[in-house]
């Protein structure tokens, strides 16, 4: 309304030429059942008040609080409780908004709408909340604005205002729960009060519904289990009868075929797993490394680490090959344990040499993983006296070259680590 009044109507109360503005305002007022009056005022004290009353010429709207508030803050509409000087100072709710000219942004006055408090209270009384509750409107300072007749002490209103400022959300006080929302430039609060026992009753009712739903689900699951078990027992009996009699009944042929296919699939998966897994360490083997590395080399942000156990031949010669196998398995177990859920894959490249592929991991994180693994291995105590194990590693970025060149680059960094004292990680 304020935007249309600013753009389409010229305010000229001195000559009263702007009858179209008056007619337009009175039409707006008629369609508002709780509207009492509407006022259009400018900075010079000129105004139009509808309905028209005698003696209005001596009234200065600029002295009204709603005019001052709207002039000082033009962001949004404001609500305030004021007295209507033309209705025996009866209290009304005044909704006011500055009139801003869209062409130059100038403020040409204020448009104010006075609303009937009793009708606004009727709105609260006629609302249908989801449970037994009370609703009222108060200011952020703890003053009552709209009260449908609830006995609320001023001290309690102050306490509610304090809690609203502290929690900025829902809270509880004196066996009641309170939910509130801000209106009117955040200066008024619509408060919804529910007794604790009412909300607890609602929670228990919901819990009972959930309990019956879960009980029904358990009954259905039990029935499904019983039906499945009965069907499986029938299948097993048919198979057993067929084995004893040496014949297969037509009804059992499909079931036997299904079981055979399922068993064959499991065997194939086991064979495929064993073909790509090192039997000693449980890591992926060289065949799996060649396939994965060729695929990883074409992806961005992938890294390759080549690892070699320091002085592994000495370990075998001093403590024997079984101890060497234990060392290899221990290093592999520690590496698998430290990787967690990261996209890190470990391989036994050959002999005492391991390989690691990092997918979508930063070089800093990859090097941190290798260092943590190296330190954990080096500080690990073995059953054999004076047995200390360490490894050296080279970390290189993948991509940008053929796979053999990438592997050679990582191997070169590994041998640099060996030559510079072993037990270290060198990255490029």
| CA separation for the pair 401, 304 (Å, rounded) | 13
Burial of 71 (0-12, 13-18, 19+ CB in 10 A): middle
d(CA 220, CA 224): 6
Whether the upstream peptide bond of residue 89 has omega within 30° of 0, thus cis, is: no
Residues taking part in catalysis: 352
Task: Tell me if residue 134 falls in helix, strand or coil.
Answer: strand
Q: What gap in Å lies between CA 178 and CA 162, rounded to an integer?
A: 13
The CA distance from 7 to 27, in Å, is 18
Tokens representing 38? Answer: 């509407």
The token duo for 188 is 């008024």
Task: Read off the DSSP letter of residue 380.
Answer: P
Tokens of 303: 């890294």
Nearest to 45 by CA among 71, 8, 19, 75: 71
CB 310 within 8 A of CB 423: yes
Residues 6+ apart with CB under 8 A from 341: none
Give dist(CA 174, CA 284) in Å, integer. 65
Structural tokens at position 235? 């299948």
Question: What tokens appear for 273 in the block?
Answer: 């797993």
């Amino acid at each position: 309304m304020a935007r249309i009044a600013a753009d389409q109507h010229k305010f000229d109360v001195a000559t009263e030429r702007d009858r179209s503005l008056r007619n337009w305002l009175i039409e707006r007022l008629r369609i508002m059942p709780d509207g009492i009056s509407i006022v259009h005022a400018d900075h010079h004290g000129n105004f139009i008040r509808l309905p028209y009353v005698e003696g209005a010429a001596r009234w200065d709207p600029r002295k009204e609080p709603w005019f001052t508030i709207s002039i000082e803050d033009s962001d949004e509409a404001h609500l305030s409780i004021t007295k209507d000087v033309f209705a025996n100072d009866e209290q009304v709710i005044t909704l006011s908004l500055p009139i801003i000219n869209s062409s130059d942004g100038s403020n040409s006055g204020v448009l104010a709408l006075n609303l009937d408090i009793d009708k606004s209270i009727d709105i609260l009384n006629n609302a249908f909340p989801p449970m037994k509750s009370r609703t009222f409107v108060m200011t952020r300072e703890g003053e009552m604005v709209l009260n449908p007749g609830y006995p609320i002490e001023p001290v309690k209103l102050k306490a509610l205002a304090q809690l609203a400022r502290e929690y900025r959300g829902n809270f509880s006080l004196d066996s009641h729960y309170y939910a509130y929302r801000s209106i009117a430039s955040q200066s008024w609060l619509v408060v919804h009060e529910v007794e604790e026992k009412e909300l607890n009753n609602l929670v228990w009712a919901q819990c009972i519904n959930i309990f019956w739903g879960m009980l029904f689900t358990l009954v259905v699951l039990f029935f499904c289990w019983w039906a499945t078990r009965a069907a499986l027992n029938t299948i097993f009996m048919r198979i057993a009868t067929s084995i004893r009699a040496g014949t297969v009944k037509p009804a059992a042929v499909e079931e036997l075929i299904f079981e055979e296919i399922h068993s064959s699939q499991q065997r194939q998966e086991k064979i495929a797993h064993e073909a790509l897994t090192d039997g000693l360490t449980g890591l992926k083997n060289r065949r799996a490394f060649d396939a994965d590395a060729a695929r990883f080399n074409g992806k961005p942000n992938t890294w390759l680490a080549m690892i070699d156990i320091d002085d592994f031949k000495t370990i075998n010669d001093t403590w024997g090959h079984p101890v060497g196998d234990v060392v290899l398995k221990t290093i592999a177990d520690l590496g698998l344990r430290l990787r967690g859920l990261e996209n890190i894959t470990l391989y036994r490249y050959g002999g005492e040499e391991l390989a690691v592929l990092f997918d979508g991991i930063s070089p800093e994180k990859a090097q941190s993983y290798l260092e943590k693994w190296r330190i954990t291995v080096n500080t690990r105590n073995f059953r054999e006296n004076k047995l200390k194990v360490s490894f050296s590693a080279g970390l290189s970025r993948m991509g940008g070259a053929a796979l053999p060149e990438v592997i050679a680059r990582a191997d070169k960094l590994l041998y640099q680590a060996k030559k510079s004292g072993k037990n270290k990680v060198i990255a490029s």
